[in-house]
Structure 1
């Protein structure tokens, strides 16, 4: 497979694809500085859908993965999204590809990666056929993941029984949630589209806006300000953290919280919530425990494949958290696909005709309107008389 790309500066006339390299083992960190035409280097086992969509949005020249993009544990959707978008994906390059120097021009020729004339790493080029084959094999191994998921669910229930059943360990917060509706935003599937559709809801009901890590930035991008930010603070911007929202740092069950150091450096007041599971679970449990009337979730994980796609055994906690919150939780993920306002041309025409008829009836019921219709009728009679005379004379 040989690809070409116009380089940003002159390079030797050698076959393959050329571009400046951007290196980061964590995909979500890399996408913050990745630009169109860059060569992205990641170390991401089982590329998930959200990460793939973030990479596609950056429009890189190619994606070089030190790990296997599909390990066979479950049918992850990331590689298919990248390949379908026409972005070259080179797989299983090994740790040597991570040694490339940020910003240097590299060359990708098939599965070979060069820094100048030095061969740095060799991998496997993925295409539609190879991705489809890998997905088929992954579906066969899904039963093992189901058993692991069930075991993780029971383990979480044993460890967090008091939190789930009685709310033991939920910290006190200053944001009032009792009797109010809450909108929880996670940077997950279709969150941007769903936020656009939910704009009238936010305007009318004024829910409490809770951003889960990078979800706080999504709220800011939508033109609002988050009331609360929940998470381990690894993917939220300084702008969001200092916007005035209340900050709840998600800590490990042993009390250690890497995110605390960051918020303290920014001088942001915060509370700590130690809990097993994910930050979106913490946000839901917090809203439920503090008396939220309704919890609307955007971008959260709802299906089994999405849990596995997240790549964490702790995703089993989300399953039990949803059971705990119950009917007050409304999952808005995908609402943008469910509801699209469509008005056809004939409907618009009928609407105009109905409007004109309504105006006509209203005018006919008034003296001024009757006089206007009389003048219009006399004018049309004169016009038709003139037309008949014209054509009669021509004959």
Structure 2
């Protein structure tokens, strides 16, 4: 293996690291089972390599985070044995050579420890292990979700009763955007085919999704969350800021808002910030709630370190038919474009070959297109 040299950048939260790290640096993360959205955020920053203080892929369940990084020729390593060296090597020049990590200091190399490298055969082995574990993992996840939902129900109802109804979204359609798997592709699709000037639709970004929305020139009306992954520029974009605090009133995001000399409202609600965003839309009288990028399956919750999805089950039951889930909608339009491309390719061949033109009428060709 060729040696890899670069400046290390560490943060406990991958989503924050992805906002801070510069291109061609080496990402040092603390992330058990790298999920696809975390992988994509590192790919966008064109990192040289990823060093993980935890297991990048445990094999306990199936996910594609490591695979996506390797497909983009980004090396992935776990530090072995698990080590707490992230803060120490942050900002320092490091070198990866023959699966060993070195720190370069005063023109000298210091041995930090061995690394475990991931490659495609090893990833496929772990994928198979994850698939075999599915029945057991699903049973645990389902039991946890039901158990958590029973415990969360009382708190959810308390939060709901204390939350006064408003009219800010009365009769409006609402698009809530969350940093879920492939949400950027879904956002491109929605912007192209659904969002039009004059549409009576309000845009709500959940935390770091606001960064991508502004990048795509979609200005959110509201940003809801703990604000930790929202860039400073986006915080000041003019959107109304709503800091999500837990049922016990803990809201670390408010300090960040104050640090930027901005003001924000708070909402007290259990669960994820996307759950709070749905509750906000309901309380403010939204007509329909279009959910883009929302977490909805076992893999996504486990990748976030959550062993169940109790509060999310409850809020979606509460919202009922008002929610329209747009997750993965880009696949529909990708397939549509492929079909159109095949048609025009065949039409070009048809017009270039006289014996084909003589065998099919224009009417038949139009029927084929239809």
TM-score by length of 1: 0.78
Measured after TM superposition, the shift of residue 346 of structure 1 is: 6.9
- Identify which of 43, 46, 50 aligns with 1:56: 43
Q: Deviations over 1:98-125 (max 9, x none)?
A: 1444443321113200113211121211
Measured after TM superposition, the shift of residue 208 of structure 1 is: 0.6
Give unmatched runs, 5+ long, in structure 1: 4-15, 351-395
Measured after TM superposition, the shift of residue 324 of structure 1 is: 1.8
Q: In structure 2, what is the equivalent of residue 345 of structure 1?
A: 344
Tell me, yes or no, if structure 1 residue 90 matches structure 2 residue 90. Answer: no
Tell me, yes or no, if structure 1 residue 234 matches structure 2 residue 224. Answer: no
Q: 1:24 to 1:158 in 2, by over 3 A?
A: closer
Distance across 2 between alignment mates of 1:304 and 1:314 = 8
Equivalence map 1:7-156=2 (5 Å): 16-93=3-80, 94-116=82-104, 117-149=109-141, 150-156=143-149
- Identify which of 304, 324, 334 aligns with 2:328: 334
How many residues of Structure 1 are paired with residues of Structure 2 in the alignment? 337
Contact 1:170 1:286 in 2 (8 A): no
TM-score by length of 2: 0.82
Q: Secondary structure at the match of 2:299?
A: helix
Distance across 1 between alignment mates of 2:249 and 2:144 = 24
Distance across 2 between alignment mates of 1:101 and 1:283 = 37
Give unmatched runs, 5+ long, in structure 2: 351-370
Contact 2:221 2:239 in 1 (8 A): yes
Contact 1:181 1:294 in 2 (8 A): yes
Measured after TM superposition, the shift of residue 218 of structure 1 is: 2.1
Equivalence map 1:287-366=2 (5 Å): 287-313=281-307, 315-340=309-334, 341=337, 342=340, 344-345=343-344
Q: Deviations over 1:322-378 (max 9, x none)?
A: 22211221111211111144354379989xxxxxxxxxxxxxxxxxxxxxxxxxxxx
Distance across 1 between alignment mates of 2:302 and 2:16 = 21
Distance across 1 between alignment mates of 2:78 and 2:260 = 39
Contact 2:155 2:247 in 1 (8 A): no
- Identify which of 168, 183, 208 aligns with 2:161: 168
- Identify which of 163, 168, 171 aligns with 1:179: 171
Q: 1:272 to 1:166 in 2, by over 3 A?
A: closer
Q: 1:193 to 1:348 in 2, by over 3 A?
A: farther
Q: In structure 1, what is the equivalent of residue 364 of structure 2?
A: none
Distance across 1 between alignment mates of 2:333 and 2:240 = 33
Q: In structure 2, what is the equivalent of residue 193 of structure 1?
A: 185
Contact 1:100 1:115 in 2 (8 A): no
Comparing both chains, which one has the higher relative contact order based on Cα–Cα distances under 8 Å and sequence gaps of 6 or more? Answer: 2
Q: 1:160 to 1:266 in 2, by over 3 A?
A: farther
Q: Which moved more, 1:41-50 or 1:216-225?
A: 216-225
Q: Secondary structure at the match of 1:31?
A: helix
Q: Which moved more, 1:140-149 or 1:162-171?
A: 162-171
Q: 1:209 to 1:289 in 2, by over 3 A?
A: same
Contact 1:179 1:293 in 2 (8 A): yes
Distance across 2 between alignment mates of 1:96 and 1:309 = 21
Q: Deviations over 1:192-223 (max 9, x none)?
A: 22222112422152311101001122221121
Q: 1:96 to 1:162 in 2, by over 3 A?
A: closer
Q: Which moved more, 1:208-217 or 1:197-206?
A: 197-206
Q: Deviations over 1:299-329 (max 9, x none)?
A: 1112222222222246332222222211221
Larger Rg: 1
